[in-house]
Structure formats: structure tokens, C-alpha cells
Chains A and B, each alone.
Chain A
Amino acid sequence: GENVEQHPSTLSVQEGDSAVIKCTYSDSASNYFPWYKQELGKRPQLIIDIRSNVGEKKDQRIAVTLNKTAKHFSLHITETQPEDSAVYFCAARSNYQLIWGAGTKLIIKP
């Protein structure tokens, strides 16, 4: 079955710097890749998603890149701010369900 691996498990960056989180997936048929942000004690919320017909998508400080050949996709956050501190999950659609990565805890240091 589909497997999604996410790295790193914890990422600590200085406020204002960029953060990059990487995911790999195993099902070559996957064609939808969302990223969710989950703050402590709160529900996951979609921050950006990408479909396999594009290689990159950007929304203000957040961008996602997709390499279908290598089966990996990445989340890029620029000019990080304290409110970016959270756990970030990548996911890949396999058949009718989303398979989730284990999450990356992003810590923004002041």
C-alpha cells in the first residue's frame, strides 16, 4: 500500500529564516498532495495543496514543489514568523483516501 515518509520530524529555525519540509511517497498513481497545519490541541487545517499536473504552487510565504519522477514533494515557508510554529503534515492521495506523513514539528526561535 501507499506509504508517505516525512522529514525532518522536528525543525527549528530562526524567525525570518526559511523552513523546508520534505515528503516522499510510494504510489506512483498518487496525484493529489495536500499540506495541513495542526496547532497544539487544534484540528488540522489545509494550508496548501498541489495536483500532479503542476510542479510548483505558491501562496504568499508558502510554496509547495512536486517531483513526480522522484516521488517527492516539499513545503517551503519563507520569512518565518512565530505563528508558523505548529506541526505540519503532508499527505498523498492513494485510491480514495489520503495517506499522511508522521508530521514535522516546526519551532520558530525568536
Chain B
Amino acid sequence: DTGVSQDPRHKITKRGQNVTFRCDPISEHNRLYWYRQTLGQGPEFLTYFQNEAQLEKSRLLSNRFSAERPKGSFSTLEIQRTEQGDSAMYLCASSFELGGYSYNEQFFGPGTRLTVL
């Protein structure tokens, strides 16, 4: 395991369908983050996990979005009833943190590009 991986790399779906993305972090990393990035913008924080616990969720995150990290390793991000505005690149990142704050490098995966028709 040499880096963060995400699957699928591309997803095209019709409006109203549900989609699920997977992220496999670097194995020794305890922190996992989900971001959304649209063209010309920086990554927008969605949520993060410390081991299996989801510690923070963006206020901007619709209740159609849910994320899990059941065993503290891989994570899934599900979007229900997709809308065209959900079209974006979904990035996963991981890091190792000893304390409560985020001081160490976040390593990013290649992203999943979602297109909602």
C-alpha cells in the first residue's frame, strides 16, 4: 500500500440515483477526510473520521450524504437521490495524528469524478 486509493475513478449517474464511493487510506493513518472539489475551487471539507468515529461533518453537507468507516480502515461516502449540483470531484485524504488537531500532511487519493445527468 503506497498511497490513498479511491474507487471508482469516474461515475456517471442519472439524477435521483444513489451512488457510493470507496476510499482506502494509507494503512497506518488514523485520520480520514472527505472533500469535494469543483472546477476552479479548492477542496471543500465534507467530513472526517478519527479511526472509526466520525468526528465532524460540514454544516454544508446535505442529509443526502452519509459516510462510514466501520472498522477504522476504508471508508465509504454515499450520496442518495443525486442532483446535478452534486457533480464534482470527491477527494479522500488520510493522515496520522497523535493529538486532537490536524498538524500533519494529508495525503490525497486520485479522487472520484461524479457526473450527474
Q: Is the interface of B mostly helix, strand, loop or mixed?
A: loop
* Chain A proximity of B32: nearest CB distance (Å): 13
What are the residues of chain A within 8 A of B106 when measuring CB–CB?
34, 46, 98
CB distance from A78 to the nearest CB of B (A): 23
A103 in contact with B102 (CB, 8 Å): no
Per DSSP, chain A at the interface is strand
Does residue B40 face the partner (Cβ distance < 8 Å to A)?
A: yes
Contact of A102 among B40, B91, B101 (CB under 8 A): B40
In Å, the complex CA distance between A97 and B55 comes to 10
**Contact between chains at B42 and A43 (CB < 8 Å):** no
> In the complex, which range does the number of interface residues on chain B fall in?
20 to 34
Residue of A nearest to B41 (CB): A102
Are B102 and A44 touching (Cβ within 8 A)? no
Judged by a CB distance under 8 angstroms, whether B109 is at the interface is yes
- Residue among B91, B100, B103 with most chain A CB within 10 A: B103
Residues of A within 8 A of B (CB): 6, 32, 34, 42-46, 49, 51, 89, 91, 93, 95-103
Residues of B within 8 A of A (CB): 33, 40-45, 48, 55-56, 58, 91, 100-103, 105-106, 108-111
